[in-house]
């Protein structure tokens, strides 16, 4: 584990020296005029772009645990708005996936793990008294389709979202890359 950073830095020197970056050269504006919100799952790292026929430069890509908009004024929603207003994204795709780590995730085991790693009960309680509902914050989702619909709804109806931007909702199979359509943004 201690060598991870060194491995990255060593590779990086060669990558740049060999001009391997040249085949990735593009601009900050998405060729396909879209912004995608998806999950940070490792299985989607290469699979999702391949399954959607996306190359470097084709889309703005936002990732978090679950592909969730957990707060209408959090950094995910801000990123979507920046993509739409400043970076020429004209459509939004929310792509969750089956077998997601956030599916059925309960807060309690996460909090237990935190305590095992040295976070004190006092800290948890201080946050709770400060008005942070840590259990709600850590809670995942129970149904992936409903979760996608909910995120689409938050984005679509956000007070700062311009009208006429299609917001689509999909679920991807993390093994085959097959997409299931949950919300067709052109129909809403």
List interacting residues with Zn ion (CB under 5 A). 39, 41, 100
For Zn ion, give the closer residue by CB, 154 or 172.
Answer: 172
Residue 48 CB, nearest approach to Zn ion (Å): 11
Phi, psi of 22 (to 5 degrees): -60, -35
Q: Which is nearer to Zn ion, 33 or 139 (CB)?
A: 139
- Tell me whether residue 48 or residue 84 sits nearer to Zn ion (CB atom): 48
What 8-state DSSP symbol labels residue 162?
Answer: P
Do 137 and 70 form a contact (C-beta atoms < 8 A)? yes
Least separation in angstroms between CB 184 and Zn ion: 22
19 token code pair: 């001009």
Q: Quote the least distance from Cβ 123 to Zn ion, whole Å.
A: 27
- Give the three-state DSSP class for 169: strand
User: What is the rounded distance in angstroms from the CA atom of residue 50 to the CA atom of residue 14?
Assistant: 26
Nearer to Zn ion, 100 or 148 (CB): 100
As a whole number of angstroms, the distance between CA 95 and CA 109 comes to: 26
Instruction: Give the shortest CB-63-to-Zn ion separation in angstroms.
Output: 9
């Amino acid at each position: 584990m201690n060598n991870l950073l060194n491995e990255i830095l060593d590779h990086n020197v060669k990558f740049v020296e060999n001009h391997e970056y040249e085949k990735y050269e593009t601009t900050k504006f998405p060729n396909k005029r879209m912004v995608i919100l998806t999950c940070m799952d490792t299985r989607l790292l290469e699979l999702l772009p391949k399954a959607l026929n996306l190359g470097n430069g084709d889309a703005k890509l936002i990732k978090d645990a679950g592909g969730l908009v957990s707060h209408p004024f959090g950094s995910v929603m801000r990123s979507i708005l920046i993509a739409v207003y400043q970076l020429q994204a004209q459509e939004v795709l929310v792509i969750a996936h089956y077998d997601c780590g956030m599916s059925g995730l309960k807060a309690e085991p996460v909090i237990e793990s935190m305590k095992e790693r040295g976070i004190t009960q006092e800290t948890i309680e201080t946050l709770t008294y400060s008005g942070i509902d840590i259990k709600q914050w850590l809670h995942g989702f129970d149904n992936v389709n409903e979760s996608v619909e909910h995120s689409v709804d938050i984005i679509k109806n956000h007070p700062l979202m311009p009208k006429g931007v299609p917001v689509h909702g999909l679920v991807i199979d993390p093994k085959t890359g097959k997409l299931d359509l949950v919300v067709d943004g052109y129909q809403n």
